[in-house]
Amino acid sequence: MLDPFPFTAPAFLQQAIKPLADALSLPTLPLHIHEVIFSFALYSFIDIVVSPYLSSRLCPKTYPHLDARTRTNWNVHVVSLCQSIIICLLAGYVIVFDDERRDMNWAGRIWGYTGASGLMQAMAAGYFLWDFVVTGSNVHIFGLGLLAHAVAALTVFILGFVRSDHNSFPSPGEQRY
């Protein structure tokens, strides 16, 4: 399935990230770098604008009176909730509509690549990039343990851009040496 995101990564952005992607063996990252950036910006917008706006209206007796530390923690949880909803909806979309993924064997589904799975990977990577920035800039609130978690999660999701052609994997019952 082609990437359902309505725009392709601009050539200048692909070229800018390509040396890093090549050095880290992340061949599909340049195809999705704009989605990582979009995702990071989306979660930043939810953190800075949407959460304070909705929280102060939905919880007018609580949210406006929170201290800065608790308000930051509250906003992070709102972003986390939004991310989980977005990624679950996107995963459901990919499962239902990505015929290319459906035709893959089990190994292809784990290590293979489709444009739609790349979009999902980018949305998750953008979230964990946001998480890393917020946790790193608020380590006095979240602590070193959550900073380590943010680094590990970002690393895992960036490494997801190591994708292969699903046709190179053996079919069920087929052995290759």
pLDDT in tens, 1-59: 778 877 889 999 999 999 999 999 999 999 999 999 999 999 999 999 999 999 999 99
37-51, 124-138, 155-169: the lowest-pLDDT one: 155-169
Interatomic CA distance for residues 82 and 51, integer angstroms: 10
**C-alpha closest to that of 114 among 153, 155, 159, 167:** 167
pLDDT tens readout for residues 16-30: 999 999 999 999 999
Is pLDDT at 172 greater than 90 in this prediction? no
Residues near 129 by Cβ (< 8 Å), separated by ≥ 6?
A: 36, 39, 40, 154
pLDDT reported for residue 175: 43
Do residues 32 and 119 lie in contact, with contact meaning Cβ atoms separated by under 8 Å? Answer: yes
**How many angstroms from the chain centroid is the CA of residue 163?**
15
Main-chain dihedrals φ then ψ at residue 26, nearest 5 degrees: -120, 75
State what percent of residues in the chain have pLDDT above 90.
Answer: 71
Retrieve residue 44's tokens: 């930043």
- Which residue in this structure is represented by tokens 């995963």? 91
Q: Quick one: pLDDT at residue 173?
A: 47
Give me the phi and psi of 3, to 5 degrees please: -60, 120
